[in-house]
Structure formats: C-alpha cells, structure tokens
Structure 1
C-alpha cells in the first residue's frame, strides 16, 4: 500500500567529507561509509522521494562537522534545519557555542554521540544538566541516540528531570527487530512516551534488521511507537548515508512509508512532515 504526501521532511540526514575533516568513527571497516557524502550525492534520491525539506544531524563531536552542515544549509534550499554539536560537559564553552548557534536561522537543536561514550548515563551528569537548561532557554531541542536499554532508561529519567526540554529520540530507541519480540523495549517505550516533551524518529531500522528485511519486519515496532506516542510526536527520517548499510535509499524510504500507509491522512501528514516542522521550528506549516 502506498500513498502520496504533498510535503515530506527528512528529519535525519547526515553529510560528511572525510577527505576534508576528521570523523573518528568512520574507518575502513565501515566499508561504504568510509567515503565522502555531500548534498549532491543525495539530491537525486531526495527529489525522487518527494522530500521537500531536510534536517541535517551532526555526525561528529566537532565544530568542524557543525560548520560544514551550516555551510551546506546556506546554499541548499532543501536544508531547513541543522542539529549541531556543543561540548555539553564544558559549561562555559557550551554556553558560548549555544549563544552563537542561537543567532543562526538553521540551528534547531544539539546532539552529541553519547551512545559511544563509556557511561550509558552520561547525559544525566550534573555538569551536563546545567547546559541542557540553556537549550530550553534558547528554544533548542536535544536529539538523543539509544543503542542499549540503559540508554532508554537514561533518556526517560532525563525527560523527567527536564520537562521543559524538547527531546527527540532517534531510530525508535533501538528496538530488537531481529528477535521480533517487543520485550523490554516495548515496556520502555510506554514509560518514555508518558513524558510529553519526548518525540520519536522513525529512522535507522534497516541497519538493525536481518538481511532481506521487509517493511513487515518493522511494522510491530512502528505500530507500538505510534500507539504510545501518537503521530503528533513521531517524525520520519532516512538516517542516510548510514542507512545504506541496510539497503539503498529508495528501498529503505519506501519501506518506512509503507509502515504508516494504513494510517489516516492526518496521521500520515503528521509523521511525514508536520511533527518535524513543529518540533524543530521549520515553519513549513506557514509556507
């Protein structure tokens, strides 16, 4: 079952030029990811998918990565927002960075690669909490990546500690798709959704699926998240180019759309663009 969306926001896209700046986690062992990915490399697929707006998300805990995304946003009409990086545990430096970012029409929020840190509860540190208060004051969001159940527990506690902070959890908080068992993840999603300041990205599923996956493999997870959060708190993202580890752009994107094809027109509109526009402040509803 397919449908046509008049507007589509890709709320989670990465770009990197490893020939120009360092991305410590991108190594030859990552195969196809160990290459340059610029806006020209996604333009044709984005056009074919009807994507009318894109949010670029940081891929390194560096200013160089953020400034590269901002340079792309300044020249690419499709890019409407940037999720930048700042050193969340260095208060004075982070405050200066946030003050600078708040002057940009493109910076909508922050993210750090906290899922790669040794401490799964790092985001709950007291020194980090002070910086997160600055995000709320400046109207910026926080994206957060979960790769373990400990991460989901941490972001749930974070949402409770900072009820005024707009949180966006990437990649459906890492469901165990391969086991086909909602299990503890399902219970954690219900607890997480009880916090109205938390939103979810429908993204990143192909890379955690078995080879030969289909949209049907993802359907139980998507249905569970939509049932818990409602469509008004769920947004669609490609996770390109990381997603190519699980399939080409067109196939992954089409499968994600298939998981919401049975929803009402209002719900589909919310997931495909309205939620992202509202949460990130893209202003598309006024254009």
Structure 2
C-alpha cells in the first residue's frame, strides 16, 4: 500500500501572492517548497502527497503543477478554477485536465464574506462541471454553515464527489461537540462525501495537544464515514502553528493504532489513492 499525505501545501512569498498569509501567522509566514518537506516525509514513511491550493489564483495552480512535474512525491494536485464564472471555469478545466496529476478543485470559501458563497447558482453550475469531469471538490468548512451546505451540494449537484477538509475543524480546544458532530454525521449520509483527518492539531491547544485530544473526534468520523471514506493529511506547513510534521504523524497514528490493519491502511493511503486517482509511487 502506498502511504499518502492527502493534504499539504507549498507557497513562495517572492513569486506568488497570498494575501491571507500575514506576519501575524508567525512561523508559516515564509516560503515553503518541496526540498524542506522531502526528508520529513521520508522519516514518516510517506510516499506520495496531495498538494492543495493555498490561493484562489491560476498562478498558484500553475506553480503547483510545475512542482508536480519536478517531484514524483506529489501524486495529485488540487487546484483552483473560478467556479462562480462557469464559462471561464470550463476553459480552465479543459487546460488543467491535460495534466495527469490535476486531480481536484478547491476554493477558499471560508475567506469569502458571503457564508453562502458555495450554494449560489453560478457556483452550482461550476460544480456541475467538476461532476461531469469526474473531478472532486475539496470543501473548506470552518463555520457550521459551511458544513450545512454539504448535503445541499450533494442534492443539487448529483455525481459530485466531495471531501471535507480537516473534519470541518471540530471544537477540540474547548472540548465542544455540537453542532459539529451532528452536521458531520449528516454530511456522511451522502455516499459521495469523504473527509480528511487533517488540520486537527491547529484546532486543539497548540502547546499541550496529544492524540488523546483528537481521539473522540476522529472516532466519531470513523463511525459515521468508515475508514474507506477517510484520509490522513498533515496540513503542513500550517501544522507548524501547533507542532511539526513528526508530531502530527505520530499522534495521528496513535489514534488509529487500534484499527484493524486494513482499515488503518485505508486512512493512511488507500482512500486518498482511490479518491484522487493517485498512481503507485515510482
């Protein structure tokens, strides 16, 4: 089985524009590129990654695809097209789909001032293009409202596969539960919806978190999705806001250690390989 990190980023502050990334972000307000991540993947035994967009721009997507050409470790790229401009999105998708590792689309919906951005008619039309192309949509769900939209999208865009990034950021630090748990379970009732066990450390106490803090939330996700619809992601380098790659890998594995080997293998690579169509590592 190929071990896959289903959610990581690169950015170059000298060549790209990332307005959301300000000096207030401390340790991640700098350039991150593949040579820095490669030894950390090797130490963890991770063979392929899914490189996910960090800005709603063609420039970011083009840079990621160039990195995929240069580094075999990048098994898939989740890029961006203007879903709210369907005619333009169709042209962009036609171009990007020629790249063998262009494997999905994401939009920073949590940065849009309209919490209902993703369910406006033009975006629904854009998402229909993804469904027709067999490309999945990564859902950034930060507000409960974002998670409420997932069943709506499943109904309005038949055939669209979706994956909820970071388990929709459960309220780990405050040890909260609802409405997150019920909304996640409702989303999981839609068979084409998956989720990423990623970005949980930055939802917990940055200084003290361990796998035990994450456990109830991961176990709930396992209960409602099953391992065949869950995938591990590091969310590196954002993960550096609360630890490092090695800790995220170690503590996530501790939470998953009680699973049967086949189920653990699904979360650590099998699900992502199927979902994004990742080829075996060379």
Could you state the TM-score of these two structures normalised by the residue count of structure 2?
Answer: 0.97
Alpha-carbon distance, 1:19 to partner: 1.1
Post-superposition Cα deviations, 1:89-140, rounded to whole Å, max 9, x if no partner, equal 1111111001111111010000010111111111101011111111111111
Q: Residue 245 of structure 1 corresponds to which residue in structure 2? A: 241
Asked if 2 retains the 8 angstrom alpha-carbon contact of 1:7 and 1:50, the reply is: no
Alpha-carbon distance, 1:156 to partner: 2.4
Structure 2: distance between partners of 1:182 and 1:205: 14
- Aligned partner of 1:260 among 237, 256, 266: 256
Structure 1: distance between partners of 2:133 and 2:104: 10
Q: Residue 273 of structure 1 corresponds to which residue in structure 2? A: 269
Q: Residue 130 of structure 1 corresponds to which residue in structure 2? A: 125
Q: Residue 228 of structure 2 corresponds to which residue in structure 1? A: 232
- Aligned partner of 2:103 among 88, 105, 108: 108
- Aligned partner of 2:148 among 142, 153, 165: 153
Q: Size of the alignment, in residue pairs? A: 281
Deviation beyond 2 Å, 4+ runs, structure 1: none
Alpha-carbon distance, 1:283 to partner: 3.4
Asked if 2 retains the 8 angstrom alpha-carbon contact of 1:163 and 1:195, the reply is: no
Written as runs of structure 1 = structure 2, the 5 A alignment for 1:138-177 is 138-177=133-172
Asked if 1 retains the 8 angstrom alpha-carbon contact of 2:131 and 2:158, the reply is: no
Alpha-carbon distance, 1:43 to partner: 0.8
Structure 2: distance between partners of 1:75 and 1:20: 17
Asked if 2 retains the 8 angstrom alpha-carbon contact of 1:54 and 1:79, the reply is: yes
Structure 2: distance between partners of 1:257 and 1:115: 28
Could you state the TM-score of these two structures normalised by the residue count of structure 1?
Answer: 0.95
Alpha-carbon distance, 1:160 to partner: 2.2
Structure 1: distance between partners of 2:173 and 2:73: 34
Q: Residue 65 of structure 1 corresponds to which residue in structure 2? A: 60
Q: Residue 188 of structure 1 corresponds to which residue in structure 2? A: 183
Which secondary structure state, in structure 2, belongs to the residue aligned with residue 109 of structure 1? strand
Alpha-carbon distance, 1:284 to partner: 3.4
CA RMSD of superposed structures (Å): 1.2
Asked if 2 retains the 8 angstrom alpha-carbon contact of 1:11 and 1:55, the reply is: yes
Which secondary structure state, in structure 1, belongs to the residue aligned with residue 258 of structure 2? coil
Alpha-carbon distance, 1:16 to partner: 0.3
Deviates more, 1:88-97 or 1:229-238: 88-97
